[in-house]
Structure 1
Amino acid sequence: MSFRVGVSSALGLAVMLAASLASLVGCHRKPAGGEPVADASPIRTPALPKEAVADAAHGKELVLAYECNRCHDGAGHAAAPRGKHCVQCHADILADRFDAPPATIARWKPRVKELALAPSLEATGKRLSRKWVEQYLLQPTDLRPDLVQSMPRLAMSSADARDLAAYLVPEDDGAGAVDLAGADLGKGRALLDAKGCGSCHAFSGVASVQNSPPPPMDGKAFERARTLAPDLRFTRDRMSASKLVAWLRDPKGVKPDTPMPKIALTEPEVKDLAGYLMSAELAAAPSPKTFERLPVLTRRVTFKEVDEKVFHRTCWHCHSEPDYAIGDGGPGNSGGFGFKPRGLNLSDYGGIAAGFLDDKGERTSVFTKDPEGLPRLVAALVARHDEEGGIMGPVRGMPLGYPSLSAEDIQLVETWIAQGRPR
């Protein structure tokens, strides 16, 4: 290489490098007799997407849109009208306050005897974590082992869950943080056994809690407390340390309508018990069992049998005849809880045969098979088993918010369909 060529190459490289640097820093040019000014086309950093801000005011509106007040009191709105308040309606039936013939009331009582309780939403913000509430609304789990029904899986968007959680939990979870460092977990466990906690609460994942006598309560109050008591395994997810400590000090001071009594605890005991609830080593939750369908029966199955054992025993709660149910056919028929009216009436043969209204408003059969060959109705019943195991698939499980049907009941429905749905 000649010296001239080398110099030319070096100069060219220098010019290119200078141009590159100028483009990176925003080259300054100096006009005649003036100060340097910035280049007209500086490099711009792309703006980062803003995190969505929760809208608590919208969340308050959503309480009515999703009809939370049909089951829950304490949601910041008046209770639903008597005829649409599910829990109160069931309580009225059990107490013989419902306006219906005695024979009808007697027939209804066994079907609703365990459906007359739901936890109130009073002081949710003083008790629970906003993040947990938001997640729970989208993927509800069975928190209360002794409560038959559970939070239904609603058709709720992530944005709605965020706003509703912001309304229910306006307080910052980090406010007034409590340090549980130094808590004696051994003493905390001993308190759990000695203070009667196990008489109401399960605590899955740890050694069985001793069933010591609870604080004095009358029979009805104790039964209500036991039925609504959550599994303590979920405490660390549902509550912050500060909210848990306040709760253990005085439950009714936090939530006046709670059935949980005040337990005599010193401040060190509160810390030790809270430390155990938040930090005890938990065994892994059992893996969900794969639901195994039973083969169709060889004997004849009629609509009458399926209706008595399945449709009128369970499905009718959400898919009833409006003219018979005070004008409300339930969320699966007339709509409700955020669901569109689907017109699916499972109270008689004709209603079931008519199917439901799809998103286009056209009638669709519940017996149409999915890609796996399952009729829609059977697929929904099977999906409820998956949901109970924590699997939220594309098909919403039925019955909504109720325990899954037994394998034998699903077998009965599937057999009836396979046999051509005889009357």
Structure 2
Amino acid sequence: MGTTSLWLIIGLMMSRSVSALSNIGYFDFPTGAGECTGNEDVLADFMADAKDLYDGMVAAMDLVSDAAFSTEEEYADYYVARQLLLGWFGITFDDHSNVVDNAESWEILQDGDGDLTAPTYPANLFCEGSMGNFFDWSAVALDVDENNIMVEDQGVSIETLYPTIYAQRNSASSSFGTIKPYYLSSMNRYIFMGNQIDQDICATTLNGGEMYGLTMPGYVASETTTTVTDAAEGPVEVELTYDVMADTVLICPNILTGTVFQYLTLADMTAGTAIEPGSGTGLNTIVTSSSTMFHELIHLTTTWTSDDSINPHVVVDYTYDVGEAVQLAEGILEIPNDPDEVYDAVYAALNAQNYVFFATAWYNWKNNPVSSDDELSAAVFFAGLPEVWYWPIASEKKAFKDAGF
């Protein structure tokens, strides 16, 4: 299988030591408003869990690609991986690992050359939502010393300084409305995010849900020109420039302190009560706080192409709900405000939480067996609820044994 740029980037990133903030080499940690000081240990655990989720997802994809097995346990892994790819991404395969349906999603999972494609890195990581202030596009832009940018005694607006981003404010990839400028007080730089987000980013509630984290794309260095009026010379054309800005990731305090989900880390999940197949326990009840880091890394590593433009296959947020994620993979999820239309199944591969659900379901299958004489007794969340591994085809296990394995 051709490893995706997403998976290779995360793999390289996670190979670094994560014992302290200074060793989490994929991120810079700005000091001041929103800083992560005091969260060293939990961030290290979150990065380690993200690597485990990454390792498992790649292993599952490799199993389906290789279709090589000689024991019941190997076959069960292969079958579970196939069914999870169907349940969470709508991808079906024949017995020779050829894609039968939704080949575009499989290509999205595999496509890429493995290069780190952000225009600059490391990304910036914050742990508090009060990081700065929103401004209107018409406001006078601030420089790195937090002074107004003036040319010939005339203020330069943010719209004038960032004309490309301003022009894309309605069409740029955002799950949170029209793009607006947000000035990071600890860095004295602008980032841009949806206008549905609160000033304290982590206080944002959308559709009744809490904000857990957010990834905000940076931008490439650019220059533009504007015309100002000189008292003596009349209209004068002036060149304006701004530097490249790295992507910014926020993990909110409610996630870092473990107040949202039942389990903080994967270790907590596997130390809890094992989930019996058929028990009705939802996958959403075992998703960990640490999976938020994995979720944000999915956004982060799919944002850019190698030519520093926004990736047309950037993974965004269409839904966070487990049932809707299943519907998305089935191609039956209604488009908001347009109930006569549904998302195509390919959108599951463009929704970050589908990756989280897939990776968590696979991790549970491999690491959290129930108490049983049957060693292949872990619950599998094929469609959000725990089932035995050969569900929904009860003859699958018997057919495997009849074949002599």
Q: What TM-score, normalized to structure 1? A: 0.19
Between structures 1 and 2, the one with greater strand share? 2
Between structures 1 and 2, the one with greater helix share? 1
- Look at both structures and tell me which one has the larger radius of gyration over its CA atoms: 1
Q: What TM-score, normalized to structure 2? A: 0.20
- Select the structure with the greater relative contact order (CA < 8 A; seq sep ≥ 6): 2
